[in-house]
Amino acid sequence: MRPAINVGISVSRVGGNAQVKSMKKVAGTLKIDQAQWTELEAFSKFSSDVDKVTELALDKGRKNNQLLIQPQYSPMPVGEQVAILYCGTHALMRDIAIGQVRPFQEAFLDRLRAAHKADVLEPLGQGKLTPEIESVLTETAASVILTLK
Protein backbone atom coordinates (compact mmCIF):
# COMPACT_ATOMS: atom_id res chain seq x y z
CA MET A 1 0.00 0.00 0.00
CA ARG A 2 1.28 3.48 -0.86
CA PRO A 3 0.99 6.62 1.24
CA ALA A 4 -1.69 9.11 0.26
CA ILE A 5 0.84 11.90 -0.10
CA ASN A 6 3.99 12.45 -2.07
CA VAL A 7 6.73 11.66 0.45
CA GLY A 8 9.23 13.69 -1.59
CA ILE A 9 7.56 16.99 -0.69
CA SER A 10 8.10 18.25 2.85
CA VAL A 11 5.28 19.82 4.81
CA SER A 12 7.19 23.10 5.19
CA ARG A 13 7.70 23.33 1.44
CA VAL A 14 4.03 22.73 0.76
CA GLY A 15 3.06 25.27 3.46
CA GLY A 16 5.34 27.92 2.02
CA ASN A 17 3.95 27.41 -1.46
CA ALA A 18 0.41 27.72 -0.13
CA GLN A 19 1.04 31.20 1.30
CA VAL A 20 -0.10 34.26 -0.59
CA LYS A 21 2.73 36.48 -1.90
CA SER A 22 2.01 39.29 0.55
CA MET A 23 2.37 36.90 3.51
CA LYS A 24 5.66 35.55 2.15
CA LYS A 25 6.95 39.09 1.71
CA VAL A 26 5.92 40.27 5.18
CA ALA A 27 6.65 37.17 7.24
CA GLY A 28 9.53 35.74 5.21
CA THR A 29 12.12 36.21 7.94
CA LEU A 30 9.75 35.95 10.91
CA LYS A 31 10.69 32.35 11.78
CA ILE A 32 14.42 33.13 11.79
CA ASP A 33 13.88 36.44 13.61
CA GLN A 34 11.89 34.72 16.36
CA ALA A 35 14.50 31.96 16.72
CA GLN A 36 17.22 34.59 17.08
CA TRP A 37 15.08 36.49 19.57
CA THR A 38 14.63 33.34 21.69
CA GLU A 39 18.40 32.81 21.82
CA LEU A 40 19.07 36.50 22.48
CA GLU A 41 16.52 36.59 25.29
CA ALA A 42 18.01 33.50 26.92
CA PHE A 43 21.51 34.98 26.65
CA SER A 44 20.46 38.41 27.93
CA LYS A 45 19.21 36.89 31.19
CA PHE A 46 22.83 36.42 32.20
CA SER A 47 23.79 40.03 31.45
CA SER A 48 22.92 42.96 33.65
CA ASP A 49 23.37 45.63 30.99
CA VAL A 50 22.17 45.35 27.41
CA ASP A 51 23.11 47.74 24.62
CA LYS A 52 20.47 49.75 22.74
CA VAL A 53 20.51 47.56 19.59
CA THR A 54 20.05 44.38 21.64
CA GLU A 55 17.26 45.99 23.65
CA LEU A 56 15.45 46.99 20.44
CA ALA A 57 15.80 43.43 19.08
CA LEU A 58 14.45 41.98 22.33
CA ASP A 59 11.53 44.42 22.33
CA LYS A 60 10.66 43.63 18.71
CA GLY A 61 10.79 39.88 19.40
CA ARG A 62 8.57 40.15 22.47
CA LYS A 63 5.99 42.20 20.58
CA ASN A 64 6.05 39.86 17.57
CA ASN A 65 5.52 36.98 19.96
CA GLN A 66 2.42 38.73 21.30
CA LEU A 67 1.12 39.27 17.76
CA LEU A 68 1.42 35.55 17.05
CA ILE A 69 -0.92 34.67 19.92
CA GLN A 70 -4.37 34.16 18.46
CA PRO A 71 -7.45 33.68 20.64
CA GLN A 72 -9.02 30.24 20.36
CA TYR A 73 -11.96 29.98 17.93
CA SER A 74 -11.16 33.41 16.47
CA PRO A 75 -9.81 32.91 12.97
CA MET A 76 -8.32 36.00 11.37
CA PRO A 77 -8.63 36.71 7.64
CA VAL A 78 -5.34 36.51 5.73
CA GLY A 79 -5.36 40.21 4.83
CA GLU A 80 -5.59 41.13 8.52
CA GLN A 81 -2.82 38.67 9.40
CA VAL A 82 -0.52 40.22 6.81
CA ALA A 83 -1.37 43.76 7.98
CA ILE A 84 -0.63 43.07 11.65
CA LEU A 85 2.51 41.05 10.91
CA TYR A 86 3.72 43.96 8.77
CA CYS A 87 3.60 46.12 11.90
CA GLY A 88 5.65 43.57 13.81
CA THR A 89 8.28 42.78 11.22
CA HIS A 90 8.80 46.48 10.41
CA ALA A 91 9.03 47.44 14.13
CA LEU A 92 6.13 49.89 13.86
CA MET A 93 5.20 49.20 17.50
CA ARG A 94 8.56 50.24 18.97
CA ASP A 95 6.96 53.24 20.73
CA ILE A 96 4.39 51.27 22.72
CA ALA A 97 4.76 49.06 25.79
CA ILE A 98 4.42 45.29 25.56
CA GLY A 99 1.10 45.53 27.43
CA GLN A 100 -0.30 47.74 24.67
CA VAL A 101 0.28 45.23 21.85
CA ARG A 102 -3.19 43.67 22.09
CA PRO A 103 -5.03 47.03 22.30
CA PHE A 104 -2.88 48.29 19.42
CA GLN A 105 -3.74 45.25 17.32
CA GLU A 106 -7.46 45.63 17.95
CA ALA A 107 -7.50 49.38 17.24
CA PHE A 108 -5.26 49.02 14.18
CA LEU A 109 -7.42 46.30 12.62
CA ASP A 110 -10.66 48.11 13.52
CA ARG A 111 -9.38 51.24 11.75
CA LEU A 112 -8.30 49.25 8.67
CA ARG A 113 -11.66 47.44 8.52
CA ALA A 114 -13.52 50.76 8.74
CA ALA A 115 -11.46 52.85 6.32
CA HIS A 116 -9.36 50.54 4.17
CA LYS A 117 -11.15 47.24 3.68
CA ALA A 118 -11.32 47.46 -0.12
CA ASP A 119 -8.03 49.22 -0.82
CA VAL A 120 -5.78 47.47 1.75
CA LEU A 121 -7.20 44.38 3.48
CA GLU A 122 -8.72 42.73 0.39
CA PRO A 123 -5.59 43.20 -1.79
CA LEU A 124 -3.41 41.88 1.06
CA GLY A 125 -5.64 38.82 1.29
CA GLN A 126 -5.17 38.30 -2.44
CA GLY A 127 -1.41 38.50 -2.12
CA LYS A 128 -0.81 42.09 -3.23
CA LEU A 129 1.52 44.32 -1.23
CA THR A 130 2.23 47.61 -2.97
CA PRO A 131 4.15 50.67 -1.76
CA GLU A 132 0.79 52.46 -1.43
CA ILE A 133 -0.54 49.73 0.85
CA GLU A 134 2.68 49.81 2.90
CA SER A 135 2.25 53.57 3.27
CA VAL A 136 -1.34 53.16 4.54
CA LEU A 137 -0.22 50.48 7.02
CA THR A 138 2.59 52.68 8.34
CA GLU A 139 0.39 55.78 8.63
CA THR A 140 -2.45 53.86 10.28
CA ALA A 141 -0.07 52.29 12.80
CA ALA A 142 1.40 55.70 13.65
CA SER A 143 -2.03 57.25 14.17
CA VAL A 144 -3.19 54.34 16.38
CA ILE A 145 -0.02 54.62 18.48
CA LEU A 146 -0.76 58.31 19.07
CA THR A 147 -4.15 57.38 20.54
CA LEU A 148 -2.55 54.85 22.90
CA LYS A 149 -0.08 57.32 24.43
- Measure the CA–CA gap between 103 and 69, rounded to whole angstroms: 13
Short-list 95, 39, 26, CA closest to 63: 95
- DSSP state for residue 95 in the 8-state scheme: T
H or E element in which residue 42 lies: helix 30-44
- The Cβ of residue 120 has, within 10 Å, a number of other Cβ atoms equal to 26
- Identify whether 13 is a catalytic site residue: yes
Cα separation of the two ends of the chain: 62
Residues with a catalytic annotation lie at 13
